[in-house]
A and B are shown apart, each in its own frame.
Chain A
Amino acid sequence: MFKDMRVRFCKEGSAVYFSHLDLNRVVLRALRRSGIPYWSKGGFSPHPYCVFAQSLSLGFESEGELFDFRLLEGAELDPQMLIDAFPDSLKILEIYEPQDHFKEIAFASYKIEIETDRSAAEIEQAFQTPLTVLKKTKRTEKEVLLSDFIRSIRAAEGECGKVVLWATLAAGNEGSLSPNYLAEGLNNAEIPAKIKRVRRLAFYKKDGSEIR
């Protein structure tokens, strides 16, 4: 009936400023206008089948966003048609047949710029200590240990006195952590830090391999 296809794309420039809900509309519209032979679910207003790996907070950039769509069985895909239908700020980087399911995603890696008066070494050191944050969900608030959600974290000196964190954080069904909590954790340990910029890089499975 159909063939699953996965698209890796970036979200940067003006695209940073719209929400996931808007992204969903823009991608559906782009699929429609691309003219590619996509498969739709039936229904009163049939629209292209389209599933995103994960949502990205408004204000975050990314070079590793993923969505799946379905190609009609036996149809040929002209990748250029799809690429041309997307705005520059949502550039398509890769189109491939997926091997993994999105629910296998366990981690996401980020590049995070923070403003702080501490050195990169001090920040990295701080993450070796038990930092706690108050994690909020829709219903509950819970104090958690940051290290339970951090797979790896490295700090480096960035431009204009900023510190750059390279972090791989939990991002799956068994728990996830927004990069925003990293600053909160530092603040709770009396370390001034403010997140200036976040860029998501890629998604990983539990075994540490990149999702395909």
Chain B
Amino acid sequence: MTYNLDQMRDLLLSVQKPARYVGGEIGQIMKDPEAVDIRVAFCFPDIYDIGMSHLGMRILYGVLNEQEKVWCERAFQPWPDMEEAMQKEGIKLYTLESRTPLDEFDIVAFTLQYEMCYPTVLNMLKLGNIPLYSKDRKGLEQIVVGGGPCAYNPEPLAPFFDIFSIGEGEEALPELTEKLRDARDRGISREEFLFEVSQMEGFYVPSLYDATYNEDGTLAAFTPNRDGVPAVVRKRIIKDLDKVYYPKDQIIPFTEPVHDRVTIELFRGCIRGCRFCQAGMLFRPIRCKSADTLVKDACALLETTGYEELSLCSLSSSDYPEIEKLVDQLIQYTEPRGINLSLPSLRIDNFSKELAEKITGVKKSTFTFAPEAGSQRMRDVINKNVTEADIERSCRIAFENGNSSVKLYFMMGLPTETDADLDAIRSLADKIIGYFYDTDKEKRNRFIKITASVATFIPKPFTPFQWEAQDSREETTRKQQYLWEKVRSKQITVNCHDCRTSMIEAILARGDRRLAPVLEQVAAMGGKLDAWSEHFSYDRWIDAMDACGVDGNFYSLRKRDFDELLPWDFIDIGVSKDYLIREAKRSYEAQTTPNCAEQCNGCGANKMMGGKCDV
């Protein structure tokens, strides 16, 4: 069954921005349903406007559709006005391409970018008429698969998903579709299919593992419940990024998405090893695309899409070994065509004056830096490896280039933090203002505006801080208040995140299977789109935890011992636990660790590349 646009006409015209629900954009892939044998609904658990900006989804959409017999379509969480209208009319959540309801798909895949999307995932399953629990789904269809960064600790979602794809999906997902086709040809059961998938590298089938707990609530054991199921699931990586598929075209939304531009991916992984950063550990080892491949990708995409903005994507763009060469070559293409080149994720310690001039030559924008902490001691604890001299140098370059707006990212509640570290945020901002007034009046702008965005630290799995306690809500609120009074001035704006979201995120990030009923409860109470402040309800989460007898503080505010068995320990990301412990101990001494380009610190990720990283 498919829904017909004409029949939905009145409904669509009654909601805001209906273009998000109709598909038909340039670049979408249409196939004959009779000519394909595997139908995939790729679900992004947020609204269209957000999901359509996501690079990972673009890549996997392309990879899956490259296979002749597979048709991958898109589905998003509708905005509540649309959701309500659909429910009133009895319309199930459908994919945009063919407008087929989710329950008719063979594979329903979710990308899990952020913990706060979990209730949305459950909500989308419900809207798509798919049974929430894996055990309630039958046959070789409605296989619910999860991937993305949150799949590295998938446990809170364990009973809802059939399969998690751990690591990079470009090769794994096509293998999964082949496996499903093969299983169908052989006529095996869903259980046998899942068992076989559990033996493929990078796939975790939660129903094939059991967790037991100690009296104090900590995990006692986590083991396969069937012979032949591996005890450890190793993540998948793409070894050669120059050879892997990259989209030559992309869907161009009718309405304006958050990021309306072409994005190319410079490299995966990060050499830096900031101790709070999950992505920096998860995506190791570092692998680069060559500048030649990138220029080719960029030109092809700009030509097919007609976009006027090109963005370079990576965890730390200025660490890209061929950055000067790449920017030079790209500018040769972009400048005569009036295309804006944006280069996010620059580091303050190694971005050069030449690079700054090259970029500002195209368009001036706000300079954004992430010192993460105000004091040098704190920056050493988190291994940010940025010195005040670095900050001074970059700010001077920026001011001489005419930038007058500086955005600074900080974190609060980091391990070992004291009020003195918060005071240092003010002194850092004051110094930056000083550099501005030092700058030659001819070159600099007239006004300076500093915006300090202060996030609440959330300990994440697979980081050296995975054992740490988060600050309590009271303490966080006190620190925010303190910061607000201490730092705010005419030239400095302070934005603090709503710490209630961070409290919940911290619980989910290091949660285990016992949180699944809480998620179900939150979704049942109407929870969805929790990343949107207008839809987030702290009380709903607290009520749901109370109803399920779950103590959230156990997950967020408790400091763990290094020898505690953690819910995600069965996943092998390449980086060893020994290395994480080593790093945690160094952090207590405020000892920094050099970046991977300077020396190999033996994190273990290189074993995934046969011993050598791309640095």
Contact = CB atoms under 8 A, between A and B. Distances in A.
Nearest to B28: A87
A45 B308 contact: yes
A29 B306 contact: yes
B12 A17 contact: yes
A47 B337 CA distance: 9
B308 A22 contact: no
A33 B305 contact: yes
Contact of A32 (B9, B22, B25, B308): B308
B254 A14 contact: yes
Interface residues of B, number: 26
B256 interface: yes
Contact of A58 (B13, B23, B306, B340): B13
Contacts of A13: 5, 22, 24
Contact of A47 (B9, B25, B308): B308
Given A25-B256, A26-B254, A17 B306 contact: no
Nearest to A48: B306
Given A29-B305, A87-B25, A15 B13 contact: no
A88 B252 CA distance: 13
Interface in A1-43: 13-18, 22, 25-26, 28-35, 40
A29 B252 contact: yes
A44 B13 contact: no
Contacts of B255: 18, 22
A32 B9 CA distance: 31
Nearest to A28: B306
Contacts of A30: 26, 306
Contacts of B447: none
Nearest to B308: A45
Contacts of A18: 18-19, 254-255
A106 to B, nearest CB: 28
Nearest to B12: A17
Contacts of B12: 17
Contacts of B21: 17
A14 B25 CA distance: 8
Given A29-B305, A32-B308, A22 B19 contact: yes
A89 B24 contact: yes
A126 B526 CA distance: 49
Contacts of A28: 306
Contacts of A34: 306
Nearest to A197: B9
B26 A17 contact: no
A22 B254 contact: yes
B481 interface: no
With most chain B CB atoms within 10 A of its CB, the pick from A17, A40, A47 is A17
B26 A14 contact: no
B23 A32 contact: no
Given A14-B19, A30-B26, A45-B338, A22 B256 contact: yes
B322 interface: no
A90 B314 CA distance: 36
A108 to B, nearest CB: 20
A192 interface: no
B305 A17 contact: no
Contacts of A59: 13
Contacts of A33: 26, 303-306
Contacts of B338: 40, 44-47
12 contacts: A13-B5, A13-B22, A13-B24, A17-B18, A18-B18, A18-B255, A33-B26, A33-B303, A33-B305, A35-B303, A85-B306, A87-B26
Given A14-B19, A14-B22, A18-B18, 11 more contacts: A14-B24, A17-B12, A17-B18, A17-B22, A18-B255, A29-B26, A31-B306, A44-B338, A58-B18, A85-B306, A87-B24
